[in-house]
Structure 1
Amino acid sequence: MSTPRITVIGSALSGNKGAAAMLESAVQTLGERLGEVEFTLLSMYPEEDRAQNPYPNLEVVAADPKTLGVTINSLALAHRLLPPLRPLLRRHRAIRALAQSDALLDQGGITFTDGREKFLLYNVASILPALNLHTPVFKCAQAVGPFKNPINRIVSKVFLPKAQTLVTRGRITHEFAEGLGLTNLVAGADYAFSLEMDGTEEQGLREAGVDLDFFADGEVVGVCPSVVLQKKVEGRGDDYVGQMIAFIERLRRDGKKVLLVPHSVRTGTEKTHNNDLPLCTRINDLLVPGEDVLFVDRELSSQQLRHLIGRCDLFVASRFHAMVSSLAMAVPTLVIGWSHKYREVLEMFALEEWAFGHDQLTPEHLWSRFEDLSARRDEVQGKLDQHLPEVKRRSLAQADLIAELVTERAAARGR
């Protein structure tokens, strides 16, 4: 029997470290279940991902939006319609990977959802080549819906049933998907909850110049801003940067130390897509200088970020997977979000009251909710400790499903 092969899309190693956590969780957990397995990442940022790839069994293939939408999709359609040309078409690395793979893992964090119609074409383009090559599509735990927008509803009803499995990562998504009539559903939890650290994180952080002695004394509050949230808040005419600065300065006046940490970083660019570093740098530059603020001004690995977040006493998150990391490390967390995807994950911990939308963000409301969290931290800590094992079990369950699918597919292909 030849080595199982799996292609992955929608995640990355560089940039958004939530995407990295999902990808690395898949590599870790499926390696444990399948033994030797080869992965191909269809990457939006191939050069950056190759530079950060530590896995010898992970091939990185270019799949930026133009390459994916035009080249890969066109070649996959030709592969379906013109059988005599298939040997020639498989010379393209992406087509060859998909044709040889036992599954495509779609790790898009939120897809086919109202209000994000501009991403709908990408959502379809991500899975259509695999469908044309008859490679099963396994949509890893993600948020989908709602489906009230006619365009999104029509496209979703066409393409989501074609997936072998769609893992929903919360109650709200599951109800949206059931309401659409989908039957290929499995209730799960975000794959990043399965991420394991290898014990080298502290050494790596020190080598990267992060002052871990900062956590030796005093209460530390982690703050993770988001450029996505910034655009939404400033779109309604409010000053997001000013609000974050005011909140951090109030924390400091209250005697707390602050970890200012971007959870999505693209090194060497000022572009803000999947890049919170320029935003965090601006916030840090406008703060009163002092040793009670630790600013992470560089790209770290997903495991290093998780270790760092786990050192905090309390955490205030706007990036989704920063929230996942803080919950996975059992750190009481306040969330400022922009979709149902935040609340439905907190529901798994019976902590949904600790999320509020960007439309509610004011200096007064943020401080009030933070004070409530601080006052009730023991209660919140108890719920984290109680529910975290079950959430991790639900996360790991999708690895079992993927391994089963790959094993069955390999057997059917006569390997």
Structure 2
Amino acid sequence: MKYIIIVGGELHNKGAQAMTYTVVDQVKKNHPNKKVVLFSEIYNDRDKLEEKKLNFDIFYFPARAKMDILGFGYISKFGLKEYLKLLIKGTGVSSDKLEKIKNIIKNADAMIDISGYALSSQRGYFASMNYLYNIMIAKKYSIPMNLLPQSFGPFHYTPKEMRKLKPLIKEYLEYPEVIFAREEDGIENLKTVGIENVRKSFDIVLQGDKEYDVSNIFKIPSNSVSLEVTIEKNSIGIIPNQQIMSHGSSTELFEIYNSIIDFIIKKGKRVYLINHSTLDLEICKKIKASFSNEDNVILIEQELNCIEINSVLKKLDFIIASRYHAIVHSYKLGIPALVFGWAVKYKELLKAVNQEQYLFDVRESIEQKKLTSALDHLIMNYNQETVVIEEKLNNLNKHSVFEDIKVRY
């Protein structure tokens, strides 16, 4: 059996889950004779429960297991202190699982990294090293390495960290034939550490088929969707993000949500509060508490997988969102979005589909009049914006990144 290994993917939030499901689906469609496996650095009890339903194998793959596979010869790269931790604490993986992982690596025809955002000083030194370990393993075993669209940088490490990391980044990021950066910002950041084999490409999820072949993902396809709520017509979804509360004023943002909902209800629309991550459920509950007696504000407490979220999104007029991959999901279906964001990835995403007028930066004071005007325009013109989004995506997706994945035959 020959394998294609996915690294950097997880199941713990819907963005990571969507990227994982999309890549599993597309790789199985394009390489039906290979077995797809996920090596994940996060593998909790909920993931174990979910794995029972999934039609691909998942292996816990922490940093110390990677160091064990690389071996003593790489001690100068990961450092004596980290190697001593491996000797004292072990790999964190049972011996039988580790043997299975090693066998898969020896029989792998490709490794695909789908980290959304891992190689950056903002994620920290150890996260960056952990990211590089995957490429070290691929190079050691001559496995074709693919870095699918993701964010890179900035690389503002301490001087000591930079002395260690810069040559490693240079050495190992030259191993993949091509690196796909999600933003222009990432391309420029990689140039600062001497990496030139980079191409711009859009988010992985946007490049997958509009509908998943759920048999590629779930053992029993009917288990993929189990909605406990009916989405009515003339409805708008609100998908908050707990992270925006740290980038902007939480008091101001809750006031904005309340004013938005008041405006929407007066326009004769319903509002569905949707959590795209379990971390966001409390925000949804707090918003609903302000409208506890309003039947047209519906809280969806059910934890939805990304396929169920697609089923909800396609029934909405548009969404008001801060979760990046909720917006990506929405655009993939041709559903417009009014966006509260803060990072460059939001700006580049909306620019790509000609939707910049609907982006509001939470780091700045949001002008209520401008926000209401954008919201009103979207309520009146969401069908026209759908046409704009779909036309832009059709142009962007004439060539898919999945056609460029390097696989050994």
Q: Is the 8 A contact 1:112 1:156 kept in 2?
A: no
- CA shift at 1:239, angstroms? 4.3
Pick closer, same or farther for the CA change 1:254–1:375 going to 2, 3 Å: closer
Change (3 A) 1:340 1:206: closer
Deviation at 1:230, TM superposition (A): 1.8
Q: Conserved in 2, the CA contact under 8 Å of 1:98 and 1:130? A: no
The residue aligned with 2:152 is 144
Offset at residue 328 of structure 1 (A): 0.8
* 1:387 has 2:387 as partner: no
Q: 2:129 aligns to what? A: 124
Which of 139, 152, 159 aligns to 2:169? It is 159
| Contact 1:105–1:137 under 8 Å retained in 2 | yes
**Partner of residue 335 from structure 1, selected from 320, 333, 339:** 339
2:8 to 7, 10, 13: 10
Identify the residue that residue 230 of structure 2 maps to in structure 1.
211
* 1:257-272 aligned within 5 A: 257-265=270-278
Matches within 5 A, 1:186-201: 186-193=199-206, 194-197=208-211
Deviations 1:23-78 (A, max 9, x none): 1111111111111322222230343223223433x211124xxxx23x22331331
Answer whether contact 2:274 2:300 (CA < 8 A) is retained. yes
Q: Distance in 1 between matches of 2:26 and 2:312?
A: 23
Match of 1:325 among 324, 329, 343: 329
Name the amino acid aligned to 1:159. Answer: I
Mapped to 1, the partners of 2:404 and 2:72 lie a distance apart of 28
> Following superposition of structure 1 onto structure 2, how do residues 278-289 of structure 1 map, counting pairs within 5 Å?
278-289=282-293
- 2:27 and 2:402 in contact (8 A); partners too: yes
- Checking the alignment, whether the CA contact within 8 Å between 2:225 and 2:307 is kept in structure 1 is no
Structure 2, unaligned runs of 5 or more: 76-94, 215-220
Deviations 1:162-215 (A, max 9, x none): 451321224443344446542222322211121543598x98798431123x22
Secondary structure of the equivalent of 1:255?
coil
Contact kept? 1:144, 1:173, Cα under 8 Å: yes
Contact 1:220–1:259 (Cα < 8 Å) also in 2: yes
Shift of 1:378: 5.2
TM-score, length basis structure 2: 0.79
Aligned to 1:303: 307
Residue of 71, 77, 87 corresponding to 1:78: 71
SS across alignment from 1:131: helix
2:229 is equivalent to residue 229 of structure 1? no
- Deviation of 1:224 after TM superposition, in Å, equals 0.6
1:251 is the counterpart of 2:264: yes
Quote the residue 2:54 is aligned against. Answer: 55
Aligned partner of 1:399 in structure 2 is 402
Distance in 1, matches of 2:362 and 2:104, equals 40
Specify the code of the residue in structure 1 equivalent to 2:54. Answer: Y
Any conservation in 2 of the 1:168–1:185 contact (CA below 8 Å)? Answer: yes
1:269 corresponds to which residue?
none
Judging changes above 3 Å, is the alpha-carbon distance between structure 1 residues 241 and 137 closer, same or farther for their aligned structure 2 residues?
farther
Decide whether the 8 Å contact of 2:120 with 2:128 is kept in 1: no
Structure 2: distance between partners of 1:112 and 1:150: 15
Equivalence for 1:276 = 280
Percent sequence identity is: 19
- For 1:59 and 1:149, the matched residues in 2 are separated by 35
Contact 2:254 2:287 in 1 (8 A): yes
Q: In the TM superposition, what is the alpha-carbon distance from 1:350 to its structure 2 partner? A: 2.5
The alpha-carbon distance between structure 1 residues 246 and 179, as it changes in their structure 2 partners (threshold 3 A), is same
Answering whether residue 116 of structure 2 is matched by residue 109 of structure 1, we say yes
How many pairs are equivalent?
Answer: 373
Residue identity opposite 2:262 in structure 1: E
Deviation of residue 319 (structure 1)?
0.4
**CA shift digits 1:241-294 (9 cap, x unpaired):** 3432332233223322112111123xxxxxxxxx22232223223323222123
TM-score, normalised on structure 1?
Answer: 0.78
AA aligned to 2:32 is: G
Counterparts of 1:84-103 in structure 2 under 5 Å?
Answer: 91-103=98-110
Please give the root-mean-square deviation of Cα atoms over the aligned residues, in Å: 3.2
The AA in structure 2 aligned to 1:144 is: F
Secondary structure of 2:397's counterpart equals: helix
Q: CA deviation at 1:331?
A: 1.3
Q: Any conservation in 1 of the 2:70–2:136 contact (CA below 8 Å)?
A: no
SS at match of 2:151: strand
2-structure distance, mates of 1:287, 1:367: 19
> Is the CA contact (8 Å cut-off) linking 2:248 and 2:364 kept in structure 1?
no
CA change 1:184–1:204 in 2 (3 A) is: same
